[in-house]
Structure 1
């Protein structure tokens, strides 16, 4: 998992140059930037409780947020000259960007030590702007493929209407210890989350991966916040037991979806050849750009457009927001539950190719961070 570095500077041109430089530098593998140019938005973000691993801000921004700055988070003051704001570690705002970033890295060094286990975990989110396009089918097959390739995989389903009981083995989808209880532990006993996951995570024998049961109280999922989803994924990563987390999202596009996408190293955006499905994806993408701006734009390198139930012939004549990276055939469904997907050799082979493309297995590299 990348660290969340918050930058608060009033000059928009400055932060754009900084963001562009970070995106094309090795620091893009370490940091996820969240940028503010207005003090009010910066303060509101901190009040919302989003996870933050480091802050670099101008003095007036820090003064405006004095009452809500998170404890224990490394903070750097971006100053014009040394000695202007000695209450924090000072960084010259206007200096060569490599030197500035090295200074930020030094300030954030304690946070790096605290997230070593998270850094080894990759996260892939499967998303679609439409229902019924085969998203959960793809997520299951991706889980199975990764497990067959030697990865330790955890499956997280964050759909509002979680239908895991339709494909889990009989009795495996029922119980009192699911996401509702995990949320309670995260809020009341965060130091015991790892122990709780160790005792209550389930194992799917056929998919060869672990998972957690849905919310026992539907209201818990309906009121789930972005910070909750972020905490769930980070809790799984922090166990140190997994190499890959596959996250199954529903078709909304709000702060929760954005938070999960920002945690993800790759985001599979699934469509079909259906013009209505593709139009919905266009509209959702445009909405994401309008509502979330720079945060959403920074996700684009990680968005991987995949066309399901397609041989690629029709889609080649259409354009959504980027070229498709893979085409998946319709599944020849035989059997029930998870076995239905695993009994379709063409689909399995196509997902295997997609998996290798995502993790760049041939080059021996981890999933790209965008």
Structure 2
């Protein structure tokens, strides 16, 4: 089902440019109608069941004349303007993909439910990264894995679910919405959540999709296990990604285990330190006991990876029930981006895909 989008602007050249851009990039999403005459535009909106109307601020639109299910916004000249005449505002001079996402968000806010949207078969693989001991570099491994798959032509989402995590340490892109908007949409429990997600996601220049860190770190602590599960389910069923790389605080309580059960592989990061090894072994022992009493088949989907391992100070984990993927060396005096680029080139992440899903 395509979204019927009407654009009203007196600038014919601008209309031609944006219609061409949208037609090239989003032809499967939009059925576009372009107008320079406001009366003809309103008449068409009323008769043709238009879903979204965006009009240049030079026109004063009487929104009472619009159908109740038609979303509306004004085109404005500045990105600093968030609303105009008490209506949502979209900067007309931004990149086409940013305009697209704002239109999508406005549409998602208006409608109460969507039927007929085609869902692709669930071919998406979800891979989780975590660590039983803090400071082992699980986030770096997760981000590097996401970049590795993206560099190999896959559509990859890096999803940071840590309480105090920050995606912008690894990835950056322009956009208006962030993880706080995702949390808010989850809390609203609207049926149009999948469209809201699409409007919030950003894409790094290297190809990785991600959500910008929340405006307030406490927003992540508001998410319940059930809401995290819904988020992952919607992302998987969207058909938008080949892989979702989940970076989360690792735990084996009931809420976390419920989330891990929906993952195809779980990668534990260890650094070879005495403390880190002991915590990892204790976690695996506890999980093994849980699996003896409850049907939670996680161990067979788990593996571990050494990060910053030193032959001088590090020690092997020893005999454990999960796969050893190998190790990443220590990079001295390197920035986060330098480390990310170096690690992403390693073939070690291809070993994850050879596990028994």
Normalising TM by the smaller chain, what interval?
0.5 to 0.7
Q: Is the 8 A contact 1:258 1:296 kept in 2?
A: no
**Alpha-carbon distance between aligned partners in 1 of 2:255 and 2:317, rounded to the nearest angstrom:** 33
* Displacement after TM superposition at 1:293 (Å): 4.9
- TM value normalised by structure 2: 0.59
3-state secondary structure, aligned to 1:130: coil
Gaps of 5+ in 2: 1-116
**Alpha-carbon distance between aligned partners in 2 of 1:289 and 1:317, rounded to the nearest angstrom:** 16
Report what 1:300 is aligned to.
299
Equivalences, count: 240
Report what 1:267 is aligned to.
266
Q: Is the 8 A contact 2:160 2:166 kept in 1?
A: no
1:1-370 matched pairs, under 5 angstroms: 117=120, 119-169=122-172, 177-206=177-206, 208-291=207-290, 293-295=292-294, 297-310=296-309, 315-316=315-316, 318-322=318-322, 324-332=324-332, 334=334, 336-342=335-341, 344=342, 347-349=343-345, 351-352=346-347, 354-360=348-354, 368-369=356-357
**Alpha-carbon distance between aligned partners in 1 of 2:306 and 2:178, rounded to the nearest angstrom:** 32
Deviations 1:257-296 (A, max 9, x none): 2122111111111111101001111222233344565557
**Alpha-carbon distance between aligned partners in 2 of 1:327 and 1:210, rounded to the nearest angstrom:** 26
Q: Is the 8 A contact 2:147 2:344 kept in 1?
A: no
Give the alignment's Cα RMSD to 1 decimal: 2.9
* Displacement after TM superposition at 1:201 (Å): 0.5
**Structure 1 residues 298 and 292, CA gap change in structure 2 (3 angstroms):** closer
Deviations 1:216-262 (A, max 9, x none): 34333223221111111111112111100000012333333212211
Report what 2:59 is aligned to.
none
Which has the larger share of helix?
1
**Alpha-carbon distance between aligned partners in 1 of 2:267 and 2:331, rounded to the nearest angstrom:** 18
- TM value normalised by structure 1: 0.57
Q: Is the 8 A contact 2:267 2:303 kept in 1?
A: yes
From the CA coordinates, give the structure whose radius of gyration is larger: 2
